C-alpha cells in the first residue's frame, strides 16, 4: 500500500502544467488525488512524475453570468455543496456532490478530476450529461470547448487529447419549468454507485417538453439513455409510460459484473434510479 | 454520626461494581495518545514487509532475491530456505496442525507468505518486495469444501500425505482434517425415524473477517548483549505467545518478554501466531537489531484469522405440539489451507455442542468434519466464543423452520421448549452444565416492550398490501469463560487466569492480570471489581496487563473469558487481601475478628459506633503495624481455575422493511435484551452490545469473502468489505435482566460476544420472516440488496 | 477470475487474405498495440510481451504464446497466451480460437472466442473493470487486424492502410489519438463501398 517512487512538481500556471506534461514521459496530473493516489498505492499506476495543479489561479471558483454558471475544475465536492450559487441555480450538482464518497474524500476530490478521470464509477459524468454541460479545455494548441455529450468514450477514456487539461465546466442555470432529480443506489457510505441516475426535465405544464437522463456505472462510461428519453419527450408521464421507460433503460445498460451485482440487477437498478429521478424532477419543476 | 446518606455517599465514591463510571483508558485514546505496536520506535529499528503469493495453489519453482538484495537500504531477504536450518519454516498451530511460516516448495492460498524483506524503512521494503522474483507453476485449485473429499480433488497438503492419524481423529481423505462428534448418534437417529414431525434445513454460515481497526504487527528485538528477546506484539494471549516462542526458539521463557501494548481491536483476529511475527523474530535474531513488521489492510483481511465458513444442516424431530424430541446437526467446516484455529485443544469444533441452545432437548447428535481448501487458514475468530455463533445460528434457524412447518408462532414454540428456571443448573444432552437462566422472563420482557402482537397485526396488513415486512426473533444461550482446565487447555496449558493485587501504604492499588484488553475496558472494570471488594475508589486503582515480565500467567482475552475467569481471579485475590485486612483491623481495634463487620469501605466493631478502621487505615498499618507473626505488606495473587463455563443469554427481536424495487432492507427496529449476570459497568456493557450488534449487522447484511474458482479473493479491501458507518447502522435498543452465575465470585458472566452471537440469526430470522408467507424457509447471508432482490425476483414479486 | 468474450470483426479483405494474415503470428501479435513477439522458440512456441495502459494504470506482462492448433480447412487458429506481470503479482491466460469466414460480398469476417483468466492482484482488485478493459483491448485489436488485411490488397485504401500501420501507437493507450483517426478512416472505408 505504498506507491513506488515518484517525482513531485507543483505547477505554477496552466501553461506550466501543460509544459511539464509534455516534457516528462508518463507525467500525471494531481488534482484531489483521491482517484489517482489509491491506484498508485496499489501500484496499478506507477506514475513517475506528478504535476500538482492545486493552487493554480483560475482553476477554482464558481461564478454566474446570465444563464451560465462557470465552475473551476479544481472546485472540491465540499465547495460545490456549500456554494450559494449552485444551491440556488443548479441544485442537481449539489445533490449529486453530497452522495460522492464520504466527507474526507469530498474535501479533496474535485469536480474536474471526477469528470476527467474516466472511471465509469465516477458520479459527475452522468450529471454533466443530464445538464448538457460544456467542458473548457486547455492544451498545447490553446483552448477549446466541447459538450459533455460525446466526451466520455470508454473506461478511462475521454476526449481529452494528450497534454490537455480540463480547466472549467459550464452548466446552465435553472430556469422556471426546469426540474432535476438525482438518485444513487449504493451499498454503503463511500461506495461507487450500484447504479445512479441524473435527470433534468423541462416542463410545459404537465407535458415533458425535454428530458435528459444520465446513467452512472452501468456501462464502460456514463451514458445518456436516449431511447428512454425519446419515449418521454412531448408526453405526460404516467405509470404505463414509466414501465416502458424502465424497459428502455434496462436495454441501454451494459454494466460490468462485480460484487455490487450482475448485469440484470444493475440494469434494473439503473431503471429504478432513473424512474425515481424522473418523478422527482417532474415534482420539483412545479415548485 | 454515620447516616444512611453518608453510607450511600461512600458507596458512590467507590465507583465500584454497578456504576457507569467513565472509562479510565479513554483519555488517551480519544486524544490519539494511545501506544500501539506501530507507535513503537527503537534505536536501529528496521522494517520488514512480506512477499506474497498471487496464486491460490502453486509450486514454487525458484526464488531469486538478487535484485531485492541489491536495492540500497535492503538488509536481508528471508525465505523458507533460511528458516529450514532452524526448523522454523513450519510452525505448530493451536489446533494441532502445522502452518508454513514462509512457503516451502509450494503455496496453498492466495497471499500466502513467501519471503520477508528487511530494509531501512517501510518504503524501501515496499519497493524491495517488487524486486523479489518468484517463479510459480500453477496447480489446480480447490475452493469448494463440498468437493474436498472427492476422488478428483487436488491434494493440497502434500506434507501430510500418508499421515492418516490427525491431531483429533483419523483422516478419511488427504484433504480431511478431523471428525468430531458429540451426543448419541444411534439414539438420535431412532428418535428421528419414529418422530411425528421432522424438519431439515441446510444453511451456510459464510466466511467473514473481523477486520479490526488496527492490523496485526510486531516489533521484535533480540538484545544480544543481554541475551533477551523482547517482542511487542498485537496479541490477545501474550503469555501463550511467550511459551510458544520459547519452545520454537530454544530461548528459556525467562529470556523472552512479550508485550502487548494498546491493541486497536482484537475480536479473535489476534490470538494466533502469524508467520510475520516468526519471520521478524528470526530476522531480529540474525541481524541483531529490532525489526518491525506491520501488515496493511489487504494483508490483514486476506491472510489472518477469518471466521465461520461452516456448512451446516440442522434437523429437529418433534411432536405435533412442537415439543422437541431430538436434534441432529451435521457440519462441513472449511478451514482453509492450514487448521490454525484458536480453539481449546480438545475441541477442534470449538463449543459447537452448545447447539442445543436454550431448549430442553432430550437427545442430540452433532457431527463435524473439517476439510482443507486453497483459502486463508483459520476459522475461529470475530466474537464467536469458539463457534458459538455457528451453534446458535443453526439451532435458532432450525427452530424457526420447525415453527413454520407446524404453523406455530416463533415465540410460542420457544416458550414451549425453554429450559425452565427451576431446572437450573441444567445439564444439556451434549454435555454442558448451564449455570443459571430465566429464558421465559427475558422473552416476555422483549415481546411486551415491542408490542409483538401489534407488530404481527401490522405485518398481516402489510402483506395484504404486497409489502415486505419481517419480524425476527432469537432466544440464545451462549457459553463463555473458557474454562475448567480439566477440559480446556491451549497447547497443554490449562485455561485458568490470574490476578495479582498490591495495596500501597497510602491506600491506592496496583493490580495486574493475565488477560489483555483490546478495547473492552479492563482498566476500568477490573478496578471497579477491586473497588467494591476492598472499599478503595476505582479512581485510585491502576490496572496493568500485557507485559509477560510483570503480569501473572494468563491465557489471554477472547471468547468473553476476562470477566468470568479474570474477573473471578480478581475478586478472589481481593478477598484474600480483605481476609488479611480483617486480621489487621482486629489487631488495630483490639477485638477478635468475629466482632467485626464490613461496611462499604471499612471494618466496624459490631454494636460499637465509632470503632472502625477503613481500608486506607489498614493499608498504612500493613506496612508498619501488623499483628505478631504476620508478614508486612498487603497483596495477593490468585490463579483461578473456573469450575464451569458461564452461560449468558438473551432475547433479540428485529423488524425489517424491504424495498421490493431495490432489495434494500431498512432495519426498522432492533431490540436486544441481554442477561450477563452481575453488571459491572452498565455503560461499558451498552458499548459492548452496540459494538457486537453493529458487527452482527455487518456480517448478516453485507460482509463476505468471495473466492472465485481460481482461488482469487475478491473484495479484500474496504472498498468492498462492508464496514458500516453511522449512516448505515441501525439504532439499537438495549435492555437487560440479571440472573447471576451461581458459581462466579461476583455472579458475572461476561457479555461482549453475546450481541454478535445473538444478532446474526436475528437478522436472518427477520429477512426470512418477510417472505415466510410465500413458503420461504431460509435465506443464506449476506442479505445485501443484490441477493435479496434476486430472491424477490425469483418469487415473482416484481411487477412486470 | 474468468472472462468470456465473443468478438466479430468485419474485414475489408477476402477470406484468403485474412487467413494468410491470421497465420502470421508476429503480425497478429503486433495488432495488439503494445504487444510483440520477442523470441521464436520453434514448434509454435513464442515468447512475447504486452504493455497496456488503461488511464493512469499500467500493466506489463511477459509470457508465452503456444499455438495449439492450426486448421487450414476450417481456417481456424487456436492459441494460448500465458503471462505474468513483470512484478509477478498477477497472471493472465488467454485461450483464443479465431477463425475466418467468408461473407457474401466477397469480403470476410474474423470470429473470435476467448476465455481470459486473470489471477492475483489484477483479479482481486481490478476485477470490476476486467471485462470492459479486455473488451476495449480486443476492439482495438480487431481494428488493427482489419487494417492489416486491407493493406494486403491493392489500391488507394490499401495504401492508406499501410500508412496507418506505420503510425500505430507503440502502446495500447486509452488516450488514443490514433483511435479517433482509425474510427474515422474505417468508417470512410465502409461508406465508400456503397
Name the nearest CA neighbour of B452 among B477, B425, B471, B476.
B471
Give the CA-trace dihedral at B532, B535, B540, B546, to 10 degrees. Answer: -50
**B559: region left, alpha or beta (phi > 0 left; psi from -120 to 50 alpha):** left
Chains within contact range of chain C (3+ C-beta pairs < 8 Å): A, B
Confidence of residue C167 (pLDDT cuts 50, 70, 90): low
Q: Over 50: is that where the pLDDT of C189 sits? A: no
Question: Which residue bears the cell 468492498?
Answer: B720
The answer, yes or no, to whether residue C187 has pLDDT greater than 60, is no
pLDDT band at C163 (very low <50, low <70, confident <90, very high): confident
pLDDT tens string A61-84: 999 999 999 999 999 999 999 999
Domain membership flag for residue A79? yes
CA neighbours closer than 13 Å in the CB half-sphere of residue B307: 29
- pLDDT score, position C133: 73
Whole-number Å distance between alpha carbons of C119 and C65? 18
Give the residue from A171, A193, A216 where a domain finishes: A171
Which of B127, B712, B719 to probe by mutation at the C interface, max C CB count within 10 Å?
B712
Task: Cite the DSSP H helix spans in B200-334.
Answer: 238-249, 275-287, 297-303
C127 neighbourhood in chain A, CB within 8 Å: 258
The pLDDT of residue B84 is: 95
Closest to B17 in 3D by CA, of B726, B532, B583 = B532
Residue B156 in domain:
no
Lowest mean pLDDT among B1-15, B385-399, B519-533: B1-15
Task: Spell out which residues of chain B touch residue C1, defining contact as CB-CB under 8 Å.
Answer: 708, 710, 712, 714
Residue C131, chain A, CB below 8 Å: the answer is: yes
Average pLDDT of chain B?
Answer: 97
Mean pLDDT of A102-126: 95
Give the structural domain span for A134: 67-171
CATH of the domain at B766: 3.30.365.10
Residues of A with CB under 8 A from a CB of B: 1-2, 4-5, 43, 102, 185, 187-192, 194, 243, 259-262, 265, 268-269, 272
Q: In chain B, whose CA is at the least distance from the CA of A243?
A: B800
Q: Considering the domain boundaries, does residue A162 fall inside one?
A: yes
Domain identity same for B248 and B378: no
Q: pLDDT band at residue B261, thresholds of 50, 70 and 90?
A: very high
Residues A78 and A23 in one domain: no
What is the ipTM score, two decimals? 0.96
The structural domain count of chain B equals 3
C127 touches chain B (CB under 8 A): yes
Do A39 and A71 lie in one domain? The reply is no
* Cα gap B116→B48, rounded to integer Å: 6
Smallest CA–CA distance, residue C65 to chain B, in Å, is 16
Q: Are residues B381 and B409 in the same domain?
A: yes
A61 lies in a domain? no
Q: How confident is the model at residue C84 (pLDDT cuts 50, 70, 90)?
A: confident
Name the residue of chain C whose CA is nearest to A116's CA: C55
Query: B800: pLDDT confidence band, cut at 50, 70 and 90?
Result: low
CA B484 – CA B79 distance, rounded (Å): 41
Higher-pLDDT residue of B661 and C30 is B661
Task: Give me the phi and psi of B541, to 5 degrees please.
Answer: -120, 115
A250 touches A267 (CB < 8 A):
yes
pLDDT reading at C156 higher than 50: yes
Same domain, yes or no: B467 and B512: no
One domain for residues B408 and B477: yes
Q: What is the CATH number of the domain that holds A271?
A: 3.30.390.50
Size (chain B), residues = 800
B411 with B529, same domain: the answer is no
Mean pLDDT for chain A overall? 95
Query: Is residue A39 situated within a structural domain?
Result: yes
pLDDT of residue C168 exceeding 70, the answer is no
Q: Are residues B428 and B316 in the same domain?
A: yes
pLDDT for C191 equals 33
In a domain, B328, yes or no: yes
> Is C179's pLDDT higher than 60?
no
Interface of B with C (CB under 8 A): 54-56, 110, 130, 133-134, 136, 138, 302, 708-717
Contacts across the A-C interface (CB distance below 8 Å): 63
Rounded to a whole number, what is the distance in Å from the CA of A53 to chain C's nearest CA?
16
pLDDT beyond 70 at A51: yes
**Cβ neighbours of residue B330 under 8 Å, at least 6 residues apart?**
B312, B313, B315, B366, B367, B368
Judge: A45–C57 Cβ closer than 8 Å, yes or no: yes
In a domain, B525, yes or no: yes
Domain boundary among A124, A154, A171: A171
Residue B457 has what pLDDT? 98
Which residues does chain C have within 8 Å of residue A122's beta carbon, measured at their own beta carbons? Answer: none
Using CB atoms within 10 A of its CB, is residue B181 exposed (0-12), middle (13-18) or buried (19+)?
middle
**Minimal C-alpha gap between C63 and chain B (Å):** 12
Q: Is the pLDDT of residue C54 over 90?
A: no
Is the per-residue pLDDT at C170 higher than 70? no
Cβ–Cβ below 8 Å for A120 and C135: no
| pLDDT of A199 higher than 90 | yes
The answer to whether the CB atoms of C132 and A154 lie below 8 A apart is yes
A185 plus A156 within the same structural domain = no
What stretch of H or E contains B258?
A: strand B256-259
CB atoms C87 and B138 under 8 Å: no
Domain shared by B233 and B372, yes or no:
no
Cell digits of residue B682:
452498565
A200-256: per-residue pLDDT in tens? 999 999 999 999 999 999 999 999 999 999 999 999 999 999 999 999 999 999 999
Confidence tier at C125 by pLDDT (50, 70, 90): confident
Give the C-alpha separation, B380 to B124, whole Å.
Answer: 35
Superfamily of chain region C2-191? START domain (3.30.530.20)
Mean pLDDT of B225-232: 96
Compute the average pLDDT of residues C151-176.
63
* Cβ contact C130:C118 at 8 Å: yes
Which residues in chain B are closer than 8 Å to C118, comparing Cβ atoms? Answer: 712
Q: Is C187 on the interface with B (CB under 8 A)?
A: no
Taking the CA of residue A283 and the nearest CA in chain B, the distance in Å comes to 20
Count other Cβ atoms within 10 Å, centred on residue B364: 28
- Mutation target vs A (from B72, B663, B702, B800; most A CBs, 10 A cutoff): B663
> Which band of pLDDT confidence, cut at 50, 70 and 90, is reported for residue C194?
very low
- Look at residue A58 and tell me if it is in a domain: no
CB contact under 8 A, A43 and B130: yes
Mutation target for B interface from C85, C91, C119: give the one with most B CBs within 10 A.
Answer: C119
pLDDT value at residue C124: 80
Output the pLDDT for position A44. 86
Residue C68 · residue C80 · CB < 8 Å? yes
| pLDDT for residue C104 | 87
Q: What cell does C29 get?
A: 501479435
**Mean pLDDT, rounded, for A150-165:** 93
* Cα nearest neighbour of A40 on chain C: C57
Distance from CA of B339 to the nearest CA of C (A): 23
Domain boundary among B574, B607, B640: B640
DSSP letter assigned to residue B479 = -
What CATH number does the domain containing B299 carry? 3.90.1170.50
Give the tens place of pLDDT for each residue, B155-213: 999 999 999 999 999 999 999 999 999 999 999 999 999 999 999 999 999 999 999 99
Residues B408 and B274 in one domain: no
State the average pLDDT for chain C. Answer: 77
Three-class SS state of A179:
strand
Q: Which residues contact B491 (CB under 8 A, 6 or more apart)?
A: B92, B94, B240, B243, B244, B345
Residue B154 lies in a domain: no
More confident residue, C129 or B78: B78
Chain B residues lying within 8 Å of C2, measured CB to CB:
708-710
Enter the pTM of the model.
0.94
Least Cα separation, residue A243 to chain B (angstroms): 8
What positions of B carry a catalytic annotation? 236, 383-384, 753
Q: Distance (Å) from the C-alpha of residue A155 to the closest C-alpha of chain C?
A: 7
Residue A62 domain-assigned (yes or no) = no
What's the domain count of chain A? 3
In a domain, A129, yes or no: yes
Q: Is residue B22 part of a domain?
A: yes
Residues B635 and B648 in one domain: no
C175–A44 CB contact, under 8 Å: no
Residue of C nearest to B68 (CA): C87
Please tell me whether residues B400 and B317 are part of one structural domain: yes
Collect all residues of chain B within an 8 Å Cβ-Cβ radius of residue A193. Answer: none
Residues of chain A in contact with residue B714, where contact means CB-CB under 8 angstroms, are 259
Query: Residue C88 and residue B717: Cβ atoms within 8 Å?
Result: no
Whether C16 and chain A come into contact, CB under 8 Å, resolves to: no
The dihedral over CA atoms of B478, B482, B488, B494, expressed in degrees to the nearest 10, equals 180
Phi, psi of B566 (to 5 degrees): -65, -40
- Under the banding of pLDDT at 50, 70 and 90, the label for residue C128 is low
Full domain range(s) for residue B471: 306-482+644-794
pLDDT exceeds cutoff 70 at B579: yes
The CA-to-CA distance between both ends of chain C, in Å, stands at: 43
B672, B748: one domain:
yes
A39 contacts in C (CB within 8 Å)? 56-57
B/e letters for B264-289, b = 16+ CB within 10 Å, e = fewer, are bbbbbbbbbbbbbbbbbbbbbbbeeb
Residue B128 in domain: yes
Mean pLDDT of B271-292: 96
Residues B732 and B675 in one domain: yes
CATH of the domain at A15: 3.30.43.10
Amino acid at each position: 500500500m505504498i506507491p513506488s517512487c515518484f517525482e513531485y512538481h507543483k505547477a505554477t500556471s496552466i501553461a506550466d502544467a501543460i509544459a511539464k506534461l509534455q516534457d516528462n514521459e508518463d507525467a500525471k496530473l494531481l488534482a484531489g488525488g483521491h482517484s489517482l493516489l489509491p491506484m498508485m498505492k496499489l501500484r496499478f499506476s506507477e506514475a513517475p512524475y506528478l504535476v500538482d495543479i492545486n493552487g493554480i489561479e483560475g482553476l477554482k471558483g464558481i461564478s454566474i453570468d446570465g444563464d451560465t454558471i462557470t465552475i473551476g475544475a479544481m472546485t472540491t465536492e465540499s465547495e460545490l455543496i456549500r456554494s450559494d450559487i449552485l444551491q440556488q441555480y443548479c441544485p442537481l450538482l449539489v445533490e449529486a456532490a453530497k452522495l460522492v464518497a464520504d466527507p474526507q474524500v469530498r474535501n479533496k476530490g474535485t469536480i474536474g478530476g471526477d469528470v476527467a478521470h474516466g472511471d465509469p464509477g465516477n458520479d459527475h459524468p452522468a450529471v454533466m450529461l443530464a445538464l448538457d454541460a460544456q467542458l473548457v479545455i486547455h492544451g498545447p494548441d490553446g483552448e477549446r470547448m466541447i459538450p459533455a455529450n460525446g466526451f466520455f468514450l470508454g473506461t478511462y477514456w475521454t476526449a481529452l487529447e494528450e497534454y490537455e487539461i480540463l480547466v472549467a465546466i459550464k452548466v446552465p442555470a435553472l430556469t422556471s419549468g426546469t426540474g432535476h432529480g438525482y438518485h444513487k443506489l449504493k451499498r454503503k457510505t463511500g461506495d461507487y454507485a450500484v447504479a445512479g441516475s441524473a435527470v433534468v426535465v423541462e416542463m410545459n405544464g404537465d407535458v415533458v417538453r425535454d428530458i435528459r437522463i444520465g446513467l452512472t456505472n452501468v456501462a464502460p462510461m456514463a451514458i445518456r439513455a436516449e431511447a428512454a428519453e425519446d419515449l418521454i419527450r412531448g408526453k405526460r408521464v404516467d405509470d404505463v409510460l414509466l414501465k416502458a421507460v424502465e424497459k428502455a433503460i434496462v436495454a441501454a445498460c451494459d454494466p460490468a459484473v462485480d460484487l455490487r451485482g450482475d448485469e440484470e440487477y444493475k440494469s434494473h437498478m439503473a431503471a429504478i434510479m432513473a424512474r425515481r429521478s424522473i418523478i422527482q424532477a417532474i415534482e420539483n419543476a412545479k415548485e | 454520626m454515620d447516616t444512611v446518606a453518608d453510607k450511600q455517599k461512600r458507596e458512590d465514591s467507590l465507583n465500584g461494581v454497578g456504576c457507569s463510571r467513565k472509562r479510565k483508558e479513554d483519555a488517551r485514546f480519544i486524544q490519539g495518545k494511545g501506544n500501539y505496536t506501530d507507535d513503537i520506535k527503537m534505536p536501529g529499528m528496521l522494517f520488514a514487509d512480506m512477499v506474497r503469493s498471487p496464486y491460490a495453489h502453486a509450486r514454487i519453482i525458484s526464488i531469486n532475491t538478487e535484485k531485492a538484495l541489491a536495492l540500497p537500504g535492503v538488509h536481508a531477504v528471508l525465505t523458507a530456505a533460511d528458516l529450514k536450518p532452524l526448523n522454523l519454516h513450519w510452525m505448530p498451530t493451536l489446533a494441532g496442525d502445522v502452518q508454513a511460516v514462509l512457503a516451502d516448495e509450494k503455496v496453498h492460498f492466495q497471499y500466502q507468505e513467501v519471503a520477508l524483506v528487511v530494509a531501512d524503512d517501510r518504503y524501501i521494503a515496499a519497493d524491495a518486495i517488487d524486486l523479489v522474483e518468484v517463479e510459480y507453476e500453477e496447480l489446480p485449485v480447490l475452493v469448494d469444501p463440498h468437493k474436498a473429499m472427492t476422488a478428483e480433488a487436488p491434494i493440497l497438503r502434500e506434507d501430510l500425505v500418508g499421515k492418516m492419524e490427525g491431531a483429533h481423529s483419523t483422516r478419511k481423505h488427504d484433504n480431511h482434517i478431523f471428525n468430531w462428534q458429540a451426543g448419541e448418534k444411534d439414539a438420535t437417529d431412532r428418535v428421528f425415524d419414529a418422530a411425528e414431525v421432522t424438519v431439515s434445513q441446510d444453511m451456510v454460515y459464510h466466511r467473514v473477517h473481523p477486520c479490526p481497526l488496527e492490523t496485526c504487527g510486531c516489533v521484535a528485538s533480540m538484545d544480544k548483549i543481554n541475551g533477551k528477546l523482547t517482542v511487542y506484539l498485537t496479541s490477545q494471549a501474550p503469555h501463550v505467545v511467550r511459551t510458544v516462542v520459547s519452545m520454537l526458539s530454544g530461548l528459556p521463557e525467562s529470556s523472552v518478554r512479550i508485550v502487548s501494548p494498546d491493541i486497536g481491536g482484537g475480536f479473535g483476529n489476534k490470538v494466533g501466531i502469524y508467520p510475520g511475527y516468526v519471520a521478524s523474530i528470526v530476522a531480529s535474531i540474525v541481524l541483531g537489531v529490532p525489526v518491525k513488521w506491520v501488515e496493511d489492510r489487504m494483508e490483514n483481511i486476506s491472510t489472518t484469522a477469518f471466521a465461520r465458513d461452516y456448512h451446516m444442516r440442522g434437523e429437529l424431530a418433534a411432536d405435533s405440539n412442537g415439543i422437541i424430541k431430538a436434534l441432529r446437526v451435521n457440519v462441513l467446516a472449511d478451514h482453509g489451507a492450514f487448521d490454525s484455529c484458536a480453539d481449546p485443544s480438545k475441541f477442534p469444533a470449538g463449543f459447537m455442542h452448545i447447539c442445543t441452545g436454550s431448549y430442553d432437548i432430550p437427545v442430540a447428535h452433532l457431527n463435524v468434519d473439517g476439510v482443507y481448501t486453497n483459502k486463508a487458514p483459520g476459522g475461529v475468530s470475530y466474537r464467536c466464543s469458539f463457534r458459538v455463533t455457528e451453534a446458535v445460528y443453526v439451532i435458532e434457524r432450525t427452530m424457526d423452520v420447525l415453527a413454520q412447518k407446524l404453523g406455530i408462532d416463533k415465540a410460542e414454540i420457544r416458550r414451549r421448549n425453554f429450559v425452565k428456571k427451576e431446572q437450573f443448573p441444567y445439564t444439556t444432552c451434549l454435555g454442558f452444565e448451564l449455570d443459571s437462566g430465566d429464558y421465559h422472563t427475558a422473552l416476555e420482557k422483549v415481546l411486551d416492550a415491542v408490542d409483538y402482537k401489534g407488530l404481527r397485526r401490522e405485518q398481516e396488513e402489510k402483506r395484504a398490501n404486497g409489502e415486505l415486512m419481517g419480524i425476527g426473533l432469537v432466544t440464545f444461550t451462549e457459553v463463555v469463560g473458557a474454562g475448567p482446565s480439566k477440559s480446556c487447555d491451549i497447547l497443554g496449558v490449562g485455561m485458568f487466569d490470574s490476578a495479582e493485587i498490591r495495596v500501597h501504604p497510602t491506600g491506592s492499588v496496583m493490580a495486574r492480570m493475565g488477560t489483555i484488553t483490546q478495547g473492552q475496558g479492563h482498566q476500568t472494570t477490573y478496578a471497579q471489581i477491586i473497588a467494591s471488594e476492598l472499599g478503595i475508589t476505582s479512581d485510585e486503582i491502576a490496572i496493568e496487563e500485557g507485559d509477560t515480565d510483570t503480569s501473572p500467567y494468563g491465557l489471554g482475552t477472547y471468547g468473553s473469558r476476562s470477566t468470568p475467569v479474570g474477573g473471578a481471579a480478581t475478586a478472589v485475590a481481593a478477598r484474600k487481601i480483605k481476609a488479611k485486612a480483617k486480621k489487621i483491623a482486629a489487631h488495630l481495634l483490639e477485638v477478635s475478628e468475629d466482632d467485626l463487620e464490613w461496611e462499604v469501605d471499612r471494618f466496624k466493631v459490631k454494636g460499637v459506633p465509632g470503632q472502625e478502621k477503613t481500608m486506607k487505615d489498614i493499608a498504612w498499618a500493613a506496612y508498619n503495624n501488623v499483628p505478631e507473626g504476620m508478614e508486612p505488606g498487603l497483596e495477593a495473587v490468585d490463579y483461578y481455575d473456573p469450575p464451569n463455563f458461564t452461560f449468558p443469554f438473551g432475547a433479540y427481536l428485529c423488524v425489517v422493511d424491504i424495498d421490493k424495487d431495490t432489495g434494500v432492507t431498512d432495519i426498522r427496529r432492533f431490540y436486544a435484551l441481554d442477561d450477563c449476570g452481575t453488571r459491572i459497568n452498565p455503560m461499558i456493557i451498552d458499548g459492548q452490545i452496540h459494538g457486537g450488534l453493529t458487527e452482527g449487522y455487518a456480517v448478516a447484511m453485507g460482509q463476505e469473502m468471495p473466492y472465485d474458482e481460481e482461488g482469487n479473493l475478491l473484495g479484500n479491501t474496504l472498498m468492498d468489505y462492508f464496514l458500516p458507518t453511522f449512516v448505515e447502522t441501525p439504532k439499537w435498543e438495549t435492555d437487560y435482566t440479571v440472573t447471576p452465575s451461581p458459581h462466579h465470585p461476583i455472579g458475572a458472566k461476561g457479555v461482549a460476544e453475546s450481541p454478535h452471537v445473538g444478532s446474526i440469526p436475528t437478522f436472518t430470522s427477520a429477512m426470512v420472516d418477510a417472505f415466510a408467507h410465500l413458503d420461504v424457509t431460509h435465506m443464506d447471508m449476506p442479505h445485501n440488496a443484490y441477493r435479496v432482490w434476486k430472491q424477490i425476483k425469483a418469487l415473482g414479486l416484481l411487477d412486470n | 477470475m474468468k472472462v468470456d468474450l465473443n468478438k466479430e470483426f468485419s474485414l475489408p479483405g477476402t477470406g484468403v487474405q485474412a487467413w494468410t494474415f491470421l497465420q502470421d503470428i508476429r503480425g497478429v501479435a503486433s495488432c495488439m498495440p503494445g504487444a510483440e513477439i520477442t523470441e521464436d522458440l520453434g514448434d509454435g512456441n513464442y515468447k512475447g510481451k504486452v504493455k497496456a495502459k488503461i488511464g493512469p494504470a499500467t500493466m506489463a506482462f511477459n509470457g508465452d504464446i503456444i499455438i495449439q492448433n492450426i486448421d487450414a480447412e476450417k481456417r481456424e487458429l487456436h492459441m494460448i497466451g500465458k503471462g505474468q506481470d513483470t512484478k509477478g503479482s498477477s497472471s493472465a491466460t488467454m485461450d483464443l480460437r479465431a477463425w475466418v469466414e467468408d461473407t457474401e460480398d466477397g469480403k470476410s469476417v474474423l470470429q473470435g472466442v476467448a476465455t481470459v483468466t486473470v489471477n492475483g492482484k489484477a483479479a482481486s482488485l481490478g476485477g470490476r473493470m476486467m471485462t470492459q478493459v479486455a473488451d476495449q483491448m480486443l476492439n482495438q485489436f480487431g481494428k488493427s487486424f482489419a487494417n492489416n488485411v486491407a493493406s494486403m490488397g491493392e489500391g488507394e485504401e490499401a495504401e492508406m492502410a499501410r500508412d496507418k500501420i506505420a503510425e500505430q501507437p507503440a502502446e495500447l493507450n486509452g488516450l488514443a489519438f490514433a483511435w479517433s483517426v482509425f474510427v474515422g478512416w474505417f468508417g470512410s472505408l465502409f461508406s465508400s463501398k456503397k
